Each structure stands twice: as C-alpha cells, then as structure tokens.
Structure 1
Amino acid sequence: MRILISIFTIIMLSTCASAQGLVINEVMSANVNTIADEDDDYPDWLEIFNAGDSLVNLDGYGLSDDESEPFKWIFPEVEITPGDYLFIFASGKDRTNPFLHANFKIKSSGEPLILTNPSGETVDQIETGFIPSDISKGRQPDGGLEWYFFAEPTPRSSNSTQGYPGISQPPDFSPPGGFFTGNVSLTLEAPSPQAIIRYTVDGSPPSDSSELYTSPLMIDRTVVIRARAFEPGLLFSSVVTHSYIFYDNNDLTVISLSTDPDNLWDDDYGIYVLGSHPGHPPEYFNANFFQDWERPMHMEFFEPDGSLGFSLDSGVKIHGGWSRRLPQKSLAVFARDKYCCDKIDYQIFPDKPIVEFQSIVLRNSGEDWLSTMMRDAFMTGLVDDTDVDIQAYRPSILFLNGQYWGIHNIREKMNEHYLASNRGVDPDNIDLLEHKGSIVIIEGDAEHYAALIDFIRNHDIRVTENYEYVTTQMDVFNFIDYQAAEIYYANTDWPAYNVKLWRPCEPDGVWKWMLHDTDGGFGLYHSPYILNSLALALQPNQNFPLANFLLISLLENDSFRVDFINHFADLLNVDFHPDTVVETIEAISGIIEPEMPAHKNRWRGTIEQWYEELIVLYEFAEHRVDCVRVHIQEEFNLEGMATVTLDVDPPEAGKIKINTKTIGEYPWEGVYFLGIPIQLTALPESGFRFNNWIGAEPPDSSTISINLTGDITVTAVFEIDTVSAGSIVITEINYHSADDFDPEDWVEFYNDSCETVDISGWVFKDEEDDHIFTFPPNTVLEPEALIVLCRDTSAFSVLFPEVDNRLGDFDFGFSGGGELIRLFDAQENIIDSLTYDDEPPWPTEPDGNGPTLELINPSLPNEDPENWRASTAPHGSPGQENGWSPSLIEDLVIWCEGEEVHLEWSDVAEAGIYYIYRSTQPYFDVLSMEPYDTSTTSDYTDFGVLNEGCRYYRIIWE
C-alpha cells in the first residue's frame, strides 16, 4: 500500500504549551514504498499523539535517537490539539517545510526514540526494536501501553487496523535454490502446525491471497519461488526467496533478481517502461526509466560452480544515461538498512580485496550494447596499473523474475562509497564532481575546484611558482594518465560528458580523475583509428569551456608539457602496446564468447555480428599507437621519434624504470620523442646493487636523464652486494599516536648484521616519491644498533628525552590507514620496504590507541604482518630492542659427514622454534629460511649440499 501526503498540510501555531499526554504513537523504520516525501523518497517516519485534553506547542522540544543527545533535533513552533497526530519524517534532511524532517534516521534493527521538553525532562521514550519493511509499530489503542505491528500502517490517524503482537517465523525450503539439471521436488516447511504457507512464482511477495502450499512442488524449469508463513494471531513472516536455475551458465556468475512485476512494468510505477507520459521521441526524457526511482528487489548471487555467494533484499534503480532507452537496461543495486542490511558482505570481484559494497551496477555495456558487450571494461582495464580510478569488472548472466535476461557486466558504482572502499577516504568528507555538459555536484561542493580554475585563469601558468602551486591542488600525473587514456581511446562522448573527478576535503586534498563510461571509444561508431582525438581535446569547447580548460591551460607550461608527452609515450609503449591490448581483447572476449549466442538471441543481432565488432577492436589495437605518436609529434612540433632499447646485466639482477614504467622483460624497446628528455633509474634486485650504465652518461649514477637525439641502447650493469638488502631493517613504526601522547610520527631502523654500515646519503620515503628524507653525512650504524627517524624531533624529545639516537625532521606524515614506506641507499637501491595497514591481519591497536607497530623478529621478513605486533611498551620502545632475544648459542659444533652438514648446539632454556638460515653468500637469504621445532633436541642436518660448495648458516630462536 502506498500513501501520499499532501504538501499543503496546515500546521496550526499557538503560544499555548502543555506536555501532558504527548506520546510517540507509531513508528516505521523501513519505509520501502508506504509513504513518499516531497522528494519522492521513502524515509523513516514516526507519529506523535496528543492523548491529553490540552493543546501542546512543541516549540523547543527535542527529538532524538541518542540518549546522550536528547535535543538532537529541535521542533519548530508547531502544536498538537487534543486527540490529534503530528507526523515527522526521520529522513536526516533536517527540514520544517513543507513537512517536518528530523536530522536522523531510525535503524530498522531497533534503537531508542526520545521526546524531551524544553526543560530537559523526558516526555516519552521507547525502544523501537526490529520492524520489518513497510510495517509500522504502534500503540493500540492510541496512547496506550501495548505495542503492536501493523501490516496496514496508519500515519496521522488512529491505529485502528489489525495489530499483531509478534511475527511469524519464515518457512524452510528443501532443497535450497541453485543450479539444477533434472526435476526438483521442493518441500516447504511451516514454522508451526498452526501456520500455513503461501507462495508466488512471478516475483511478487506473497500475500494472504497467494497460492496456498499443500504438497511438494515439482520444478522442471527456471523459476523463482517466494514464500512466507501466515500464523493465526501473528504478523505474517518475512519473505523467503530461492531461485531454481536450469541453465548451463558457461562458467559465468549468475544473478537472479526478483520483484513485484508492477515495480518493473506498471505504466505509472514501473521503472523499466516508458510509462504513461514519456515525453517526445526519441529522447523520452519524461519516461519512467529516466526517473530516479528505486524499487525493492531480492538479489541472489551464484558463483560459476553453483555455490550461493549471497542473497539479500535490496533496492534497484535504472542506471545510466542514453542507454536507459535500450531494451536491455543497466540496473544499480543498493544495499540499505530499510531492506535488510546496509552493505553487501561479499568479495564480488575475486581480484579485488574489497569485501563490502553499498551498491553495484549490473551494466548493459552502455552504448556498446549492440557491439561487443565488453568495451568499457576492456578499455579501462588497460590502465589498471596507473593511479586513475577504474571500476572492477565481472561478467554475469542475469535472470529477472526467472526469465533469462542476458549478459550484464557487474561493475562498481563510482560514488562516495567506491572512494571509501578503494581510496580509504571518509565518504562524508569528499567533493565529487561530474561533467554533464556542465559541472554537476555529486557530493560536497565545487568551491575548491572553482578556486583552482580561477587561479589558472588569473595567473601565468608558464611561471614555475604558479605551476607548482597547481600541483598542490590537483594530481597532475593522475590527470595526465587520465587524459592520455581518453585520447588514445578516441572517446567521442568526452570530455564534455563522462568525466568524474574527486578530492578528499582535507587541507592537502588534491583532485584526481575517475575513468568511466568510455564506450564511445575504440571505434564504436566506426571512428577510424587515425582520428586525431588529441587535436579535438585541445579545441576550446564553446558550449562548455571547462570541458578541456585544464588540459589546454597546463600545456602552456614547459614542465607539464614534457611530463604529458613522456607519460603518454610510456602508456603507448607499455599499457597500450598492440600486443598487450590484443591479449586483453582475447582474454575478455574468450570469457563471454560461449554466452554470446544466447545473449544475442534474447536481445538483438547475431554471433557473426559480434565477431565483426571484435575485428574493429583488433584493428584499432594494431594501428592506434602509431597514429597517436604522429599526432603527438605534429601537435607539439617535435623533431621526430627515437627507439630506446634497454637491457640489464646480468639477467634478472635488476630492472630499469623509464619515466613512470618499470620494465619487466629484457631486452626491451620503446619509442620516445626527440628533444624530450627521458629518465632512467636502475633498480637492483635483492642481493645486487647498481654498478654502472653502458651507453649513457653519467655511467655511475643510478638515475640519469637523456635528451634523445636518435636511437639509443642502454644497459644497466649490476653486481653482487655484500651488504644485503635485509641488513638495515625497519623495526618499529609510530603512524598514529594516541591523543594524550603524541610525539608525532617516527620510524626505527636496525642494523641486523655484523658489519658497520654507513647510511649517509641514504633516503627514506613513503609511497609518494617526492616525500623524501636524506640521512645526513656521518650517519653510521654499528652492528645491532638502532636509530630513530622523527617527523618532529622537538615533540619526540619531550616525550622520549632518554632517546638520543634519533634524527629528523622529515616533512611528511604517515597515513593512519596504512601505506608503503621505503628505505634506499645513496645509489637509490631499495634496501627495505613494507606496506603496513591498520586492519587485520596487521595489528590494529597501534592505530591511535597508544602502542606502536613493533617488529617481532628482525631476521624474518618484515613485509609479513604476522611478524608484527602492538608494542609491549605502552607507547613503543624507540631506539631500544623490541623484545627479540639475540642471546648467544653456546658450544656450537659443526661437522661434515659425506655430503651432509650437521649443526649441534647446547640447549637454550627458552628456545622452542629455531630458524635456520642458509646461503651461498656471506649474507643470509630469507627465502632459504627453515623453521625447525627443537623442543627436545638441538641439532640440525642439511642434506646433500657440500657438492655445491660453501654454505653459511645463521641460527635464531624464539
């Protein structure tokens, strides 16, 4: 039942005041489709009844769901006459006109509601308890002491409909839903002998007039069974939904959605249809499917093997822009508390470690619907190694109320919750904007962005200081990668549309870009791969000047222009390399190819047409890179191109980073531009260090810049490093101090070797390459010595005055949500690095509770979260050992027997697990570590090693 409230409700005002008889009379905490507000939303609501004999003015009264904050929301000057009702939406919108809207919502699982008079006295307080969707809970009679559930809610009127003191338990299904190949006999079991079960097969929730279950149901086709129990004297049970699927899913995920057919097809209410007044063709902007309507729906998610991933009640909307007009539409699914729960607790995308989702999109592939059904997913996936935000992708088969509905691409919904999950930001503290022919605010506001645009308009961006300021307001490298991707794609529906950008609302928050809805690229409209989309991107947009204002303006700066050209060249050489792109097309098309005949048969087209569309992708991939290189050369008047060949010696001793890309296989070739300097950095593998370059100057610097004048071959030469990468180890991290004990961030290093190491000129960084601390001259670490690096040595010294082995200050902070921290030697060889976190399996106590993050054993891998703990000292032990026990083993005896090496030592009382390290080098390779349980014996035998020469051993115990 849906109830409409007139926005012309008259609220009588008076100066009279009396609190006698005011009670909270009726509550609905899960308003799915009972009462719509003026925004056509369905918020929670409550009703206050005046059971007294005097008019009451509520001006200054408080309404709250928090006992510690009784005046959370304060009533305006509004009164209730005796025997009358006052209706309030608990929407969180905080309004008084045209309806009263409190600034909080009511949890459907239950919470207190408190009404307080202006003197602070509690007038009424209740505990709502669990209330099912579209069911209210109220007093009967009005103002009475007894509470009942109402299947027919009575807002702003007497609670005179049938009330129920409790709720029936739901029925059981045997067998549960899933994939089947033969007939199924389904048994439904009632919760009690007095209960009956009614069920439906059309997707609608069962009512008291639905089919009565009397005997097992024989199922031989795909169908959704929805059932609920009805028991005398109780409210009907919740709906239980199971899908029985008879279909070869071709190793794809299967999703079954079920809902009342009216939610989809009703002319006045259905979201999937044109409706009664769609507006003028072909736009149909007034069509039902263009409205921001949400309807209740049940979702079941089956893995390819038939196992049930999750099943939940949720909300659904039509998603997208112009693609809403297509026969097969995109659907956005929302988890909300009013349906059952406010998140989907499941790892939907196997390759992405996110296990909570507030919403997902079941996408019809947008403008690519008639083409490949994979264009946007394939294209955006090409840049998944950049910092540009992209949506995860997983193809699925959809059944809608038991009917086959074809392939839908499961995608993340790019909103504030996406940013919370993927970026770790506060979803309530961001600015999120979109280009839709103008700037559209999705979250927050556009003030910061407008200020950035104004600065660029009013300052000469060619001046270094002005450009450097811009880099503090936006992530220019993220922006370059984003622009390069869209230009390479030749996206014809960009940049006036399909642009999203965001920033955290923090003092150092910078704008970043989100790549989505790229379907208009890669030759969708048979735009040739020779299309000069770079030139198009640099043409001023008369209708929407901001569409490409940033790119046009920033290219006036020499530094940005060089970075733009080099980053673009990097992408063309690696991410957009024809071989890489072709492999990606083959991989994704191969996943959906077995399902495409059925999908085409359900909707439109043939499998032969699909293959033809794939050929468009392949041809674009093969030729686009060469075309874009020519476009870059012509646009920036460059002298030509050069082939850069890179190699390493000895093989696998290290890698080379060229500009932004670290190359994995050698020899390697890439194409860059004459007159545009490239940067090469030698990156040694563990156990090696950089020695020199061959073919480039200066030969002994691990990072060099080369201004290309022609083709060039460069080799990075590495040598064995006698100081292992594990010798200097990060052993303690203070990344989030307690409020009452804040020495600022600090990190501790330990020399886990028997050699003195000069760390002068070494470099410490977090995950940002421009966050740098360089160790000063004459910084030396003796064997087993520790040193502490502080963000603020003054603040540190106040709280740790006894620690004198400290250095500082570094001018950046550690993330409270976890991040990468790195130590480099003076030649920029990586010495130690790890990515800590504030979530399990990492210890959580160091996140603002006092303890620090403390390494358990410095000789074991410190990238392993199991080797870390919350510090045993309340605020850590900077400059002191963390509690490991490097006591000596007495009477160690080593002897050989044939090809075997025997180690024997005297027992150590506290020893239990020994770690035996072995290596052919005088430093120790943790990969050859063996845990050895010696609870009863203290010896170790290494078999069959003498024929390979010398071995080194280290023994450590816990």
Structure 2
Amino acid sequence: MLYNKTKIFFFIFLFNTVFTQIVINEFMASNDSTIADNYGEFDDWLELANNTLSPVNLYGWYISDNDSEPLKYQFSDSLYILPDSILLLWADNDIDQGINHLNFKLDSEGEEIVLTDPNQILIDSVYFDQLATDFSYGRYPDFIGDWGTMNNSSPGELNFPHDNNQYTDAISLTPNPGLYEEGIYVSNSTDLNGIDVYYTMDGSIPDTNSNPFSEPIHLTESTVLRVIALEPGLLPSRVRTFHYLINTNYNLPIVALAIEPDNLPIGDQEYNLHVSYFDKFGELGFNTDAGIEQHGSEAPQRSFRIEFKSEYGSPHIDYLVFPNRSYTRYKRLILRNASNDRFPSDGSDNRTHLRDGIIHNVYSQLYPNGGYSSFQSVHLYINNSYWGIYHLRERQDRFYIEELFGYDDVDLLERAMGYPDYRNAIEGDWDNYDELEIFIENEDMSLPDNFEVLKNNIYYEEFLDYWILEIFMGNFDWLVNNMKFFRPTSGEDKWRWLLWDTDHGLGRDHYQEGIYWGNVETDYLSWSTGLQGPRVGEGEYNKVIRAILRNDEGRIYFINRFADLLNTTYSNENLLSVFDSLVALVSDDIGYHAERWSANTLFWDNGLNEVRDYIIHRPAHIINHIINKFQLGSAYSITLEVPDTYNGSIIINSIQINDFPWTGIYFGDTPIKIKANPYQEVQNYSWENIGAISRPLNIESLYCDTIFRIIDNQLSVNTNNLISENYFLHQNYPNPFNSITQISYNLPEKSFVDISIYDLLGQKVRTLINGEHSAGFITLPWNSKDDFDQSLSSGIYIYIIQAGDFRETKKMVLLK
C-alpha cells in the first residue's frame, strides 16, 4: 500500500546505511500491572523489532493506530533499534514524557497498528480485536511468526510461545441443535476411542464431576446441553453448547442463552455465556460465547446487553440480524424488554410492547441507512426457561457509528438522566458541541450568514425530521434523556442525531406537572420548542431547534416539512400499515409471552387500540398546534391533478407525488413551492389557467382549498390563458368571493412588481405588492381589507399589475 509521497528522506546512519523492514512484534492494549514506564505509569505499550545485522534509526518513520491516518505520529528525533533487538514504546498519548512515548493510546476493544517508512510506504500492520487486561498480542517466533494472544507477556524481551498446552478436540452431537416438533434422542457423533465425555443440562459448565455421556439422552422438552471431552494425557476440550428447542410452535426467531445458574439473575457486572440465534424457520444463524450484563433498570423481565469479545469467543458476529441493514458485522446487541412500554406492567392496560419498534420503523422509511436502532422481535430462552418476547436491537455506540457511518473517532454525546446537567460523553467530549451552542445562542440567527453557520454544522434537514418525529409521536422521555448525537472528532463531518428509546410515545400514559402527556391532544410542539415546562430547562436543552425557528427560512422549512410529512409518512394510511405489520408479527405469539408473565392479553389489545386511536387522531391536533405556535391563519387542502397522458411526478416542497389525484393539507401564511417533474417532452402540458409547467409555482400563501391541474394542450379546448414565457395576470379565484380571494400572475423574469386594488371611483384601496420578485408563478391572497386593515363593502373592484413595461387590468366581485 503506497501513500501519497510528499517528501523523500535520505538517512546517513551512524553505523551503516540500511534499507530494512522493521516489524511490530508485540503490544498490550490494557496494562494494569504488567510493566510501568519511567514515570511509574502502567501505560499501553508496543514493541518494534529489528531482525537485521545493522542498526536502524527511526528518525522520519511513522506509526499510527488508525489505518486511515497512517502518518499520525512521526519520529522527529534519532531513535535507534540495534541489530536483532527490540525497542519498547509507550502508547500513552503523552509525548512530553520522552522520545519513546507516542501521541496515541491503544484501544483494548480492538483496532490496528500501522508502521510506515519515511517514504510513506506501509511496512507492517496488525489488526486486533478485544484484548483482556494484562494480556499481550505478539508474534512467535519473534519478528516473523504468527500473531497470537500471549498469556505471559514479555515487554522488551523475546516472546514466549503462544500456547504450550494440548487440548482434547471438541466433540459433536447429533442431531444438530435447533427446533424440533417432538422429543429426540441426542447422541455423540464423534469416535470417542477412550475419550471421556461429560455434560450438564442446566446451563452450568461441565467438568469431570458432571454427568458422564455414556448413552443417548432422551429430551422431551427444551433443553441446553453443555459438553466437554477429556482424552488421557491432555487437557479438557473447550465447552460446546447445544440448544434443543422442542415443541415451541413459534413464528418469531429465538435467542437461546446458556449461563452458569449461579450467575442468575444477570446483574450489572459482565458474565460469560453462550448465545445461539435461530431464525423463524429454525435454522441456526449464529452461536458463540459472549459477555452479558443487565441493560437499564431492574425488572421482572429485564433487558440485557450482549458483547462479543475475543476473550470469550468471536470478537464479533457476522450475520444478517436485521434485514433492513446492509451490514452483517455486530460487536454489541441489546435484548430489550420494551422498557417503559413493557407488557405486562403493573396492571396497566396501556402497554403494547411495540411502541419503540413502530416509531423506529417509521423513521427508517425516511432514512433507511440512518441513525435509528434496528428492530427484530424474538423469543428468549435462558438455560431451559422461557423468558418471553424481547426485541433484539442495535446498540448505539462507537462500533455502531463506525459500521454505519464510517467514523471510528467521534464525540458521541448523550442527554441522559443520572449525569450532571444531563450530559454524558459516551465517547470524546462536549467541547466542540458547546462551541456551536454558544454561537447560536449569542448570534443573531435571523441573519443569513449566521444561519448558514448552523446549517453547515448539523445535518439540518435530518435534524428537523428527527425533531418532527419526536413531536408527532409525543415522546415525553426526551430532551434531557435519550437524546444522542455525534460528530467525528476531526470535524470533517457534521453533527448528526440518533433516534433512541421512544417507548413513551404514541400515547403511553404518563402524568407530570398536572399534564397528561399521553393525551393525543398534548402539544409537544410548543413544549419541545419553547422555554417553559418540564425537561426544557428554560431553553437549555432545545437550543438548536429554537435557533432554527428564529430564522425565517428555518421556520418556513419546518412548517412545510411538517406538512409534507403529515401528508405522506405520517398519514393514517402509512402509519397504520406500519402498526398493523408489526402487530401481525407478534400477535400469534403474544399468548406465550402473556402466559410466561401471568398477563391478560385483553390488556395488550386495549393498548393496541389506544395506539391505533392515537395514530388516527394525532394529525388533526398537530395541525392545530402548528397554527397556534406560528400564528397561522388556517390550513387548507391542495389537490394535484394530471391528465392520463401525463407521465411524470409533481414535487411539492420536499416531497415527490407520483399517484394522482393527490390531496394534502398545507398552511396559510406560508410560501409553498410546486414543480412539475415530467418524464417526457413538456411542450404539450401546462398548468390550467396559469402557464407552462417548465416554471415552478411559488404560492405566497393559501387562503382557501385549491386545485392545481396539469392539462394536455392537445386535448384542451380552451388554451387562451396558457402562456409560458410572457407576463400574465390571471383572473382572481374564487370570483365572486366572500372575504378572501387569490390573485395570481406570471413573471418570465425577475421584475419589480406593483399590484394595487381600486374601487369603481378610481380610488386605490389596497397595495398587495410593491417590490421586486423572482420569476415564476406567484399567488397573493387578498382578505377584502384596505391598507388600514378596514373591511371593504360589497361591490366591484379593479386590480392592476405593473411589471416593467407590462400592465394589465382585471375586475373582481366582492359579495358579503
């Protein structure tokens, strides 16, 4: 691998001029007590080895813990490695302690070490997974041997062999682990030939005091078998674990755990266990030893965090756990119990076990490769006991971010309960994010330049979609909790928010400060964008959204984007489709779960009905919340129609419409953009009574329900009003009208426009516009009031447009 060459160094060595490959020989990524440096500190360390007959000066060489940044540290002083010798370096990120101290630390969770010569040519590298404390990873034989874990590390000295012990080969059983409809006989499928085999059936690790496996075992119920083999003169084999699930009749996949019974119940410390995953057809997906600990708070059905580590077995799994993700490598997974939406829960009839999954599935429609936690419902067995329905989830940590977004060094931050000021730095620190918040709080965000700074530092549109989702779904457990966001520490990318833990949404019952937060009418828009109320902190915890809404562009985009989503993703049709699909996945199996936890499924049905009602009625209340928050006049329908011959779509604001006729709800006092997107020649099509479809329609405001219709000119009888490249003043609509009408016009180019309204005596009563406007189709509302905001009487009125040299007059009738 050759990196871009920027310099060529010529070295005159003290002894001889040499051109050699020195190698990485051994390292330790978690040093607790093995060796201290010259400051008495137990830091990470690594060895470089010189297997030649000449000394090598490291001056100008590079070493790094990141293969995407191979030139991270350059040796800027003469540092020699003598022939056939080893040099010990300290990876402590403290170069002030001497020339053998590097500017990075090693990650015991796994990363890489890269060695590059002065010509920026890669010389050696090693990639490693998680290492236990005080275990090193090294070559044997030194310099040229294979890599392996060193039980006896040897910093600065020749390496010991990786392993001098011989183990008995592991055995196999027949039939294979899996799902069976009836009882089976399990036998050993390996030629024993004097080998003793021992087994357990309770999840414990077998030893020579366990049951001897001397004849087939008859299983009539779900059982975990753990076996070892022992050949005379050798050490016992590794433990093998076999899950046999009998007469289950489930529709969901199954996760089966085997763990020492003495380690139950699983608590906050990490325990070793074996995990197997069987898909819904009963096929084994993956099985390996791993670490497990409790995730979240204690509960009868508690959640668990599973971590795949080399000290237990595989450092990761490689399996398509979540079909909606393109990657298959996972370091950590969560077995989640639905948390605050857990069914059953203290007799509540409001729980569904599905709220969080529904919300994350909806968000995945907007961002299929975005920052949400994928969702797979499963049945869980711990040893031989059934534990009900869980949800297998992605854990949002640095491994998740690296896999999904490609960054391995990030500031991953979290607003979370239990931390000072609700600030938790999962990775990195808050410094860069704090700078952004200081800027947006102290600068005038109505100014375009300042607003651009904000937009350039966050995924602006994605952030607003995230915020809109939380508002629509009515998630109270937010703002100071369950809010995660990250950015690469290098600053090469923007801040991005991650969706996590939305169990309190979709009408989950919760009372606080006299407010029922599960009410479909509760105004989460005002709460989450304001300065008052619980968890807002007088605006401390919603600075970014408030900064956006202080800018006209930001406010208009937010309103229109909310309307776009109400008309598409958050429509009853779409949300109920997501809801019904997830309910269908678990409905046939929920009875097993209810029986396990002594629950009444009528409570589950009631919770589902409440979520369904919430979905159906929420949009109407959201519309009122938007009108009230932004003091808008009202909401009106826009209908888009096209002829059968039209082959194309129509873009309205941020969404593309492909099926017609289509109707959506939008807000008055808010500019709207509509653009035809034909897939064929456009000469034959026009907007009815407006003009050519080649230009976008810029509607300044809606004041009534409106139809925008594309017509086929070859099929249309009346085309007198259809123009494409000329100035044009349209007849107001409706006409006659009662209090409100719309006046539209076409501008072929940017122009200074004056539109004024006169009574029959020739007196000017109202100026609608007197200023410059860009080209396009423009609609202006008139509320039948004069320039002094006084209502006018019924009668005939004249409106005149003057745009450059173009002037035209039309009449309209006001009836009251």
Q: Same fold (TM over 0.5)?
A: yes
Structure 1 residues 187, 629: CA separation in 2 closer, same or farther (over 3 Å shift)?
A: same
Deviation at 1:559, TM superposition (A): 0.8
Deviation at 1:432, TM superposition (A): 4.0
Q: Is 2:225 aligned against 1:225?
A: yes
Partner of 2:206: 206
Deviation at 1:216, TM superposition (A): 1.0
How large is the RMSD of aligned CA atoms in angstroms? Answer: 3.7
Q: Any idea what SS the aligned residue of 2:366 has? A: coil
Partner of 2:278: 302
Partner of 1:699: 692
Query: Which stretch of the first structure deviates more once superposed, 185-194 or 451-460?
Result: 185-194
d(CA) in 1 for partners of 2:176 and 2:553? 63
Deviation at 1:689, TM superposition (A): 5.0
Which of 332, 350, 359 is residue 379 of structure 1 equivalent to?
A: 359
Partner of 2:90: 74
Structure 1 residues 319, 354: CA separation in 2 closer, same or farther (over 3 Å shift)?
A: same
d(CA) in 1 for partners of 2:477 and 2:631? 27
Residue pair 1:170, 1:191 contacting (<8 A) in 2 also: no
Structure 1 residues 430, 691: CA separation in 2 closer, same or farther (over 3 Å shift)?
A: farther
Residue pair 1:90, 1:105 contacting (<8 A) in 2 also: no
Which of 280, 288, 306 is residue 312 of structure 1 equivalent to?
A: 288
1:189-200 correspondence runs (5 A): 189-190=189-190, 192-200=192-200
Partner of 2:325: 352
Q: Is 2:576 aligned against 1:582?
A: yes
Q: Deviations over 1:70-107 (max 9, x none)?
A: 6563399xxxxxxxxxxxx997499xxxxxxxx99787
Partner of 1:428: 409
- Structure possessing the higher relative contact order (Cα contacts under 8 Å, 6 or more residues apart): 2
Residue pair 1:90, 1:106 contacting (<8 A) in 2 also: no
Q: Any idea what SS the aligned residue of 1:547 has? A: coil
Q: Is 2:306 aligned against 1:333?
A: yes
Structure 1 residues 551, 228: CA separation in 2 closer, same or farther (over 3 Å shift)?
A: same
Q: Is 2:678 aligned against 1:684?
A: yes
Residue pair 1:638, 1:673 contacting (<8 A) in 2 also: yes
Residue pair 1:433, 1:440 contacting (<8 A) in 2 also: yes
Residue pair 2:183, 2:246 contacting (<8 A) in 1 also: no
Deviation at 1:470, TM superposition (A): 0.9
Q: Is 2:451 aligned against 1:470?
A: no
d(CA) in 2 for partners of 1:489 and 1:306? 35
1:399 is matched by which residue type in structure 2? Y
d(CA) in 2 for partners of 1:222 and 1:61? 48
Q: Deviations over 1:359-408 (max 9, x none)?
A: 22111111000211111010222232324522221111111112111101
Partner of 2:46: 64
1:262 is matched by which residue type in structure 2? D
Deviation at 1:414, TM superposition (A): 1.5
Structure 1 residues 303, 192: CA separation in 2 closer, same or farther (over 3 Å shift)?
A: same
Q: Is 2:366 aligned against 1:366?
A: no
Structure 1 residues 462, 242: CA separation in 2 closer, same or farther (over 3 Å shift)?
A: same
Partner of 2:443: 459
Q: Any idea what SS the aligned residue of 2:335 has? A: strand
Which of 615, 627, 630 is residue 633 of structure 1 equivalent to?
A: 627
Which of 496, 511, 525 is residue 512 of structure 1 equivalent to?
A: 496
Deviation at 1:699, TM superposition (A): 2.9
What TM-score results when the alignment is normalised by the length of structure 1?
0.58
Which of 387, 390, 394 is residue 405 of structure 1 equivalent to?
A: 387
d(CA) in 2 for partners of 1:72 and 1:548? 49
Q: Any idea what SS the aligned residue of 2:546 has? A: helix
Residue pair 2:138, 2:147 contacting (<8 A) in 1 also: no
Deviation at 1:704, TM superposition (A): 3.0
Structure 1 residues 692, 342: CA separation in 2 closer, same or farther (over 3 Å shift)?
A: farther
Deviation at 1:317, TM superposition (A): 2.1
Structure 1 residues 458, 683: CA separation in 2 closer, same or farther (over 3 Å shift)?
A: same
d(CA) in 1 for partners of 2:472 and 2:575? 12
Partner of 1:417: 399
Partner of 1:498: 482
1:384 is matched by which residue type in structure 2? S
Deviation at 1:315, TM superposition (A): 1.5
2:290 is matched by which residue type in structure 1? S
d(CA) in 2 for partners of 1:207 and 1:713? 79
d(CA) in 2 for partners of 1:264 and 1:215? 30
d(CA) in 2 for partners of 1:500 and 1:458? 24
Q: Any idea what SS the aligned residue of 2:352 has? A: coil
Structure 1 residues 90, 350: CA separation in 2 closer, same or farther (over 3 Å shift)?
A: closer
d(CA) in 2 for partners of 1:714 and 1:261? 69
Deviation at 1:712, TM superposition (A): 1.4
Which of 682, 704, 713 is residue 707 of structure 2 equivalent to?
A: 713
Deviation at 1:137, TM superposition (A): 5.9
Q: Is 2:117 aligned against 1:113?
A: no
Partner of 1:747: none
Deviation at 1:252, TM superposition (A): 0.8
d(CA) in 1 for partners of 2:653 and 2:365? 14
Q: Any idea what SS the aligned residue of 2:540 has? A: helix
Question: Unaligned regions of 5+ residues in structure 1, if any?
Answer: 1-26, 30-41, 50-55, 77-88, 95-102, 116-121, 150-163, 272-290, 721-826, 828-958
d(CA) in 2 for partners of 1:183 and 1:45? 50
Deviation at 1:111, TM superposition (A): 8.3
Partner of 2:15: none
d(CA) in 2 for partners of 1:397 and 1:539? 42
Residue pair 2:360, 2:374 contacting (<8 A) in 1 also: no
Q: Deviations over 1:538-592 (max 9, x none)?
A: 3325647431122223211111100111111111111111122122211111110
Structure 1 residues 376, 703: CA separation in 2 closer, same or farther (over 3 Å shift)?
A: same
Structure 1 residues 681, 146: CA separation in 2 closer, same or farther (over 3 Å shift)?
A: closer
What TM-score results when the alignment is normalised by the length of structure 2?
0.67
Partner of 2:375: 393
Q: Is 2:655 aligned against 1:675?
A: no
Structure 1 residues 350, 148: CA separation in 2 closer, same or farther (over 3 Å shift)?
A: closer
d(CA) in 2 for partners of 1:330 and 1:313? 18
Partner of 1:529: 520
d(CA) in 2 for partners of 1:524 and 1:341? 39
d(CA) in 2 for partners of 1:444 and 1:419? 13
Structure 1 residues 315, 599: CA separation in 2 closer, same or farther (over 3 Å shift)?
A: same
Partner of 1:596: 590
Residue pair 2:416, 2:422 contacting (<8 A) in 1 also: yes
1:378 is matched by which residue type in structure 2? I
Residue pair 1:395, 1:408 contacting (<8 A) in 2 also: yes
Deviation at 1:108, TM superposition (A): 7.0
Report sequence identity in percent.
Answer: 25
Deviation at 1:639, TM superposition (A): 0.8
Question: Unaligned regions of 5+ residues in structure 2, if any?
Answer: 1-25, 51-62, 64-85, 93-104, 111-125, 344-350, 511-517, 715-775, 777-816
Residue pair 1:170, 1:238 contacting (<8 A) in 2 also: yes
d(CA) in 2 for partners of 1:635 and 1:544? 17
Q: Any idea what SS the aligned residue of 1:382 has? A: helix
Structure 1 residues 598, 145: CA separation in 2 closer, same or farther (over 3 Å shift)?
A: closer
Partner of 1:614: 608
